[in-house]
Structure 1
Amino acid sequence: MSKAVMIDFTSTPHESVAMVKERLARNGLCIGRADFRSNTGSWLGAAQLTIIMHEGEPFEFGWRTSIKKAEKHIVTAGQFHIAPAGQPAFLEWQGTQSAITVAMTAFFLEQTVGEAFDGDIPELPPQGAIHDTVVEELIVTLRRGLRDHGRYNGLRLDHAGAMLALHLFEHHGRSNSATARPALSGGLGSSRRRRVVDYIEAHLGEDMNLGELAAEAGLTQHHFGKAFKTSVGQSPWQYVNERRVSRARDMLCRGERSITEIAHELGFSSHSHFTDVFRKITGITPSHFRKDYL
């Protein structure tokens, strides 16, 4: 095997391989969009566990590893490849191909899935041209975060990243135990729930993240996300959205601030973003809500 090029997707990758168009790093999770240059055949690997999801037109993709025979696939938008840290594969494709990359550092994985499998964390081998609608939806959520600069965007990224990591290991990993599954956790309990809810209420206009909320509850990020949903019936960021909209309704009724001022105070990235979230939850726009009330 010739020398492999190991790509660090948390920094500037080899420009001979890929040109980064956008990138956002947060708490050991790095999301990016890149154009991968035509490759007639070379050994490529990733420095961190990296998921690469195709965005463009269908193309022919060939790959093999040192222990897996060569395969060829027609890859379509939404299909993805799994590149475990330090495990190169021989890859080939024609033409420049656009993709979303999601790199997960060891720190991120420790925080999100380190305690989730009762000490039997599955092996995640190299895999190519996979179709999984759950993974696709979670990566699309992460992609939105590249351009959403609202103050609560971080919480959504933390949650989607943790759910993506858990789903990958549970559904695409290989374990020595045929019955291995993530350890289930119960709810938060009344005192933890109250602490977290009070914290959210006090910081609705700020960029909360999953780590902060988990720390407030004294749990790991993975266990917190599951426990919160068990107790509240919603993911943390869904709950935060609803609380922000509830507060926005009160502010709209008072009529003291403009809609743009309310959007900014509650951490939305823009007037239009606030309107989209408000409409999704209430069924009407903020301006119509204010008009109907006043």
Structure 2
Amino acid sequence: MTLLPRQPYCARYTSDGPVVGFAFDSQSGLHAFASDRVVPFRAYPNGLAFVPTGCDVYSSSERGGEYLTVRGALDDLQTAPFSDHVDCQAAALAVRIRGHMLKPSPGDALMLEEWSAALVDHARAAFAKPRDRQTKRLTGYRLKRLDDFIEAHLDENVTIGMMAAQLGMSEGAFSRCFRASTGKSPYAHVLDRRIARARDLLIGTSFDLAQIALAAGFSSHAHMTSVFRQRLGCVPSHFRAHP
């Protein structure tokens, strides 16, 4: 993901991978997509855009505007480029992503990855035919295989890309299927597993809190404390004393 600042720009390139974009501001200038014909454009705020692999792009603006790009998106589908698709839920996701990119906090990596996958899903829905919108579910065998992988790597930086690769799926398809199969997001599931391991270690070992946080995959003792407050209503030390 990249957050481009509000400034004048002039860009010409051939996309080496699919890109979903989101415009926070209105902007105007000149552009050409998959064509040598340069024409004036005016983009409105809160608009989704998509550039497929191999698309020739020219765009320039004397003013520019703040713009979010997510690369490697929609790799399981083919479509023509589009822009200015307004989606209120996508706008809310983009604002969350922007806020966390500007002011990151511990443990955000997987959550940001999940939000970016959700943003891509909204771009996908902008052009998908009704039959393409049907989401398949993961089999019990595949869910068990995924849980075994998560448990074995819980003390590492588990990403959506890693989980999707275990099942031979794209990140977007994996996120959709996982939510349809379990009723929760991959991020929430991994967080549940981290909490469960931390609780077991708090009760069953004499490890200090920093050791437990790292063993459960939290980025720090402070991160674990924050999650316990939000999800369990208490801090780890209190849970250890009153399991």
Shared fold, TM over 0.5: yes
What secondary structure, in the 3-state scheme, does the structure 1 residue paired with 2:28 have?
strand
Return closer, same or farther for 1:279/1:158 CA change in 2, 3 Å cut-off: same
Query: Which whole-Å CA distance do the structure 2 matches of 1:145 and 1:71 have between them?
Result: 26
Q: How many residues align?
A: 231
Q: 2:178 aligns to what SS in structure 1?
A: helix
Which position in structure 1 is the counterpart of 2:220?
270
- The answer to whether the Cα contact below 8 Å between 1:46 and 1:83 also exists between their aligned partners in 2 is no
Alignment partners' CA distance in 1, 2:145 and 2:152? 11
| Correspondence for 2:207 among 257, 279, 285 | 257
Query: Shift in Å at residue 92 of structure 1?
Result: 3.3
Question: What residue number does 2:235 align with?
Answer: 285
Inter-partner Cα distance in structure 2 for 1:252 and 1:100: 44
Where do 5+ consecutive residues of structure 2 fail to align? 32-36
Matches within 5 A, 1:1-294: 31-37=1-7, 39=8, 44=11, 47-48=14-15, 49=19, 51-54=21-24, 61-63=27-29, 65=31, 70-71=41-42, 75=45, 79-80=46-47, 82=49, 84=51, 85-93=55-63, 99=66, 101-105=68-72, 108-110=73-75, 113-114=76-77, 121-127=78-84, 130=86, 132-138=88-94, 140-141=96-97, 144=100, 147-148=104-105, 150=107, 153=109, 155-171=110-126, 173=127, 179-180=129-130, 182-254=132-204, 256-293=206-243
Structure 2 partner of 1:8 = none
* Contact in 2 for aligned 1:82/1:126 (Cα 8 Å): yes
Which of structure 1's runs of 4+ aligned residues deviate more than 6 A?
none
Identity of aligned residues (%): 24
- AA aligned opposite 2:83: P
Which runs of 5 or more structure 1 residues have no equivalent in the other structure?
1-30, 115-120
Superposition deviation, residue 45 in structure 1: 5.0
After superposition, the Cα gap between the structure-2 partners of 1:127 and 1:90, relative to the gap in structure 1 and judged at 3 Å, is farther
- Structure 2 length normalisation: TM-score? 0.74
Q: Secondary structure at the match of 1:161?
A: helix
Greater share of residues in helix: 2
RMSD between aligned residues: 3.4
1:109 maps to amino acid: L
The CA deviation at 1:260 is 2.1
How far does residue 34 in structure 1 lie from its aligned partner after superposition? 4.1
Distance 1:45 1:149, change over 3 A: farther
